């Protein structure tokens, strides 16, 4: 089909009138114009309805993709946190075992590790650490200590999965890994929820050590975020979001903005949708409501089933807005058609030449405004600026301008939402990185962070030929303290000692860390042995000033032994050499306790 510019229509029409000098051709033209207007109105209505349907379907699809993305990201982070915590605890268990394997019997070491892990929690009620033997015997189960000593080898969850057998097989064949199963809730053992756990084998004691978290806790957080965002959407936007279940019970959508549209009306509309379509690609539905002004409003909605959570989610829009626009366009076009007919008739009677000039002027005006409107659209697409409707004189262009402004506004809103989600993810990642480097009890750096830092400081000191001092501290008779006063008092004692160590670190490069159990380390870069001894003696005096009673100690109070080592690093040696030197000093200090022994190269 040959195309032409709108601005050329008045010129062509004027020439046609001048050439023909007759009314009949003009009447035929107006008749064809009328038919064309009706066709365009109907085509525009159908196109607008198709666009609304496409937009509804796309927005619901995006909502479900967001649900899947949030679920996948949070489950991945949960597993990463569980594995990180297990690595830390497993390292502590290995350290504890190797520290005492030559001085204690295996059963005594097992009891010591049992006591240390009994009170450790990862996230919530499901975040405890458990221990199973490779034959299925329960060695540690904090939620119910009466289960310890029993055999769980044939234990099955509500789905018939043999949990313990699979844990043992996974640990023995792969060394460890994740396992998902249904597990009773500690607050209500009659109910089970899906749980993911990470297990790992500790071969010296033939143990399977594991920990985990209920997946439902993460899913509840995601669902609450999505429901709250939909509530906010219903307050701010003209369209309405709703979330329901298969029985029609609404979670979001009770406060609707279109007249008397009720929960019952939505439920009845959803029930009419074919369940096969609802669970596959989703489907559209229609419903009506009576507005506050007494008029009937036609509504269009789209709903889709979300299998993982049993949700039916969707959106509803008011189709009367489209009908009103169509009626307005129809009246305006008819009015313009009648006006143009009258104008042409008068022009033929009074002045053919004047008609030509008017047509030319009208063409110039159309071309001018079309050029301005094209410039407005260019700014809207490139700079996200809205079209200034007050400068647009033609109603057709104003209608297009409103639609363009709505698209720009939604694009800006979506961009802001994406930026907010990215900011939240950035803050969450920062918190996870901080938690991975901090001991959960004393708030000191953990052994993992210490190991990474001592490597950096060792290489820096080697380049700059600076000394580095390391102190290893062990609280005297701490097991007796725990046995006498309980693990809660023992934790309080560790926290107090950790606070003194943290406050004693005066410089940014100084570090106090929990090395494992009742062991701590202090790392003093660019510090001589005399400077390190001064700092260590200050710490010893502050701990002595606490005067924490300890009936199991010959000193009658809590004290510690420290091995202090100082060295000038070289590329031929590793930080392990400094650690071994400090450990030898600590070993000598523990011969008489409550003292500081120094060593250097």
What would the two tokens of residue 142 be?
């904090």
Q: How many CB atoms within 10 Å of residue 13?
A: 19
Contact by Cβ (8 Å): 298, 340: no
Residues 6 or more apart in contact with residue 584 via CB below 8 angstroms: 563, 565, 599
SS3 labels along 157-169: CCCCCEHHHHHHH
Stated as kind and residue range, the H or E segment containing 312 is strand 311-318
CA distance 546 to 542: 6
- The set of long-range contacts for 483-489, using a CB threshold of 8 Å and a minimum separation of 24, is 483/552, 484/550, 484/551, 484/552, 487/115, 487/118, 487/119, 488/119
Contact between 231 and 243 (Cβ < 8 Å): no
Range picked from 244-258, 364-378, 560-574 for highest mean pLDDT: 560-574
DSSP 555: T
Residue 44 has pLDDT above 90, yes or no: no
Q: How far is CA 24 from CA 144, 353, 416, 533, in A?
A: 99, 20, 59, 114
Which residues, including other chains, have CB under 8 Å from residue 48's CB and lie 6 or more apart?
A: 322, 325, 326
Round to whole Å and give the CA distance between 322 and 55.
Answer: 14
* C-beta separation of 542 from 500 below 8 A: yes
* 171-210 as b/e: b if 16+ CB within 10 A: beeeebeebebbbbbeeeeeebbebbbbbbbbeebebbbb
Would you list the DSSP string of 74-131? HHHHHHHHHHHHHHHHHHHHHHHHHHHTTTS-HHHHHHHHHHHHHT-BSSSTT-BEEE
Share of the chain above pLDDT 90, in %: 35
Count of C-beta atoms within a 10 Å radius of residue 454: 22
Q: Which residue has the higher pLDDT, 536 or 322?
A: 536
Using alpha carbons, select from 248, 250, 219, 252 the residue that is nearest to residue 233.
Answer: 252
Distance CA 585, CA 588 (A): 5
Q: 527 phi and psi, to 5 degrees?
A: -130, 135
Give per-residue pLDDT as tens, 157-173: 888 899 999 999 999 99
C-alpha closest to that of 469 among 503, 509, 514: 509
pLDDT tens digits, 54-80: 887 787 787 777 777 877 888 888 889
Question: What would the pLDDT profile of 276-324 be if each residue is shown by its tens digit?
Answer: 777 777 888 787 777 666 677 777 888 887 767 767 777 787 776 656 6
Distance CA 536, CA 225 (A): 50
Contact (CB, 8 A) for 585 and 563: yes
The conformational region for residue 253 under phi > 0 = left, psi -120 to 50 = alpha, else beta, is left
Bridge partners, 252 (sequence order): 243
- pLDDT at 248 exceeding the cut of 60: no
pLDDT at residue 214 in the model: 84
> Would you call 548 helix, strand, or coil by DSSP?
coil
Q: Identify the top-confidence range among 115-119, 126-130, 388-392.
A: 115-119
Q: Are 345 and 23 in contact (CB under 8 A)?
A: yes
Residue 448: helix, strand or coil by DSSP?
helix
% the chain with pLDDT above 70: 71
pLDDT band for 256, please (50, 70, 90 cuts): very low
Q: Which residue has the tokens 């071309």?
A: 367
- Residue 68 parent element (H or E): helix 23-100
* Per-residue tokens: 238: 């003209």
Q: What is the mean pLDDT of residues 17-36?
A: 66
- Asked if 190 and 207 count as a contact pair (C-beta separation under 8 A), the reply is no
Residue recorded with tokens 């004027």? 14
What's the pLDDT tens digit per position in 493-530? 999 999 999 999 999 989 999 998 899 999 999 999 99
pLDDT at residue 571, rounded to an integer: 84
């Amino acid at each position: 089909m040959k195309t032409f510019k709108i601005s050329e229509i008045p010129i062509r029409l004027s020439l046609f009138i001048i050439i023909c000098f007759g009314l009949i051709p003009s009447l035929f033209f107006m008749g064809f114009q009328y038919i064309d207007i009706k066709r365009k109105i109907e085509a525009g209505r159908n196109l607008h309805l198709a666009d609304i349907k496409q937009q509804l379907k796309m927005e619901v699809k995006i909502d479900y993709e967001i649900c899947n993305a949030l679920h996948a990201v949070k489950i991945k982070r949960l597993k990463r946190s569980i594995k990180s915590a297990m690595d830390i605890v497993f390292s502590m268990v290995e350290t504890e075992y190797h520290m005492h394997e030559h001085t204690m019997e295996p059963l005594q070491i097992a009891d010591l590790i049992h006591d240390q892990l009994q009170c450790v929690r990862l996230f919530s009620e499901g975040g405890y650490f458990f221990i199973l033997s490779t034959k299925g015997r329960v060695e540690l189960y904090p939620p119910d200590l009466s289960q310890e000593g029993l055999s769980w080898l044939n234990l099955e969850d509500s789905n018939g999965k043999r949990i313990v057998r699979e844990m043992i097989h996974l640990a023995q064949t792969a060394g460890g890994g994740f396992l998902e199963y249904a597990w009773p809730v500690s607050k209500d053992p009659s109910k089970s929820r899906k749980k993911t756990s990470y297990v790992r084998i500790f071969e010296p004691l033939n143990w399977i050590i594991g920990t985990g978290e209920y997946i439902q806790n993460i899913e509840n957080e995601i669902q609450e975020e999505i429901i709250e965002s939909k509530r906010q959407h219903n307050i701010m936007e003209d369209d309405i979001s709703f979330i329901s279940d298969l029985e029609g019970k609404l979670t979001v959508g009770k406060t609707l903005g279109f007249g008397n549209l009720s929960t019952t009306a939505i439920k009845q509309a959803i029930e009419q949708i074919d369940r096969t379509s609802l669970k596959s690609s989703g489907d559209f539905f229609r419903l009506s409501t009576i507005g506050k002004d007494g008029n009937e409003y036609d509504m269009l909605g789209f709903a889709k089933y979300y299998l993982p959570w049993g949700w039916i989610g969707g959106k509803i829009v008011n189709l009367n807005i489209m009908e009103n626009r169509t009626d307005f366009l129809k009246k305006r076009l008819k009015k313009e058609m009648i006006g143009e007919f009258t104008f042409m008739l008068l022009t033929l009677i009074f002045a053919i030449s004047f008609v030509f000039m008017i047509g030319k002027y009208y063409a110039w005006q159309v071309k001018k405004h079309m050029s301005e409107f094209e410039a407005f659209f260019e700014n809207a697409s490139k700079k996200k600026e809205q079209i200034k409707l007050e400068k647009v004189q033609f109603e057709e262009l104003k209608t297009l301008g409103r639609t363009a402004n709505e698209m720009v506004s939604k694009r800006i809103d979506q961009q802001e939402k994406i930026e907010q989600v990215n900011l939240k993810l950035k803050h969450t990642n920062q918190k996870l990185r901080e938690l991975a480097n901090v001991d959960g009890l004393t708030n000191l750096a953990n052994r993992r962070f210490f190991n990474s830092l001592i490597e950096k400081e060792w290489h820096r000191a080697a380049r700059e030929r600076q000394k580095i001092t390391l102190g290893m501290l062990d609280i005297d008779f701490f097991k007796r303290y725990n046995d006498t006063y309980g693990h809660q008092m023992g934790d309080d004692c560790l926290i107090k000692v950790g606070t003194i160590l943290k406050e004693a670190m005066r410089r940014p490069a100084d570090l106090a860390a929990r090395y494992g159990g009742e062991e701590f380390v202090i790392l003093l870069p660019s510090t001589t042995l005399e400077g390190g001894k001064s700092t260590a003696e200050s710490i010893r005096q502050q701990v002595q000033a606490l005067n924490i009673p300890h009936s199991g100690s010959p000193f009658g109070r809590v004290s510690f032994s420290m091995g202090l080592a100082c060295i000038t690093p070289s590329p031929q040696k590793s930080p392990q050499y400094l650690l071994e030197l400090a450990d030898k000093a600590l070993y000598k200090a523990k011969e008489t306790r409550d003292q500081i022994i120094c060593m250097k190269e």
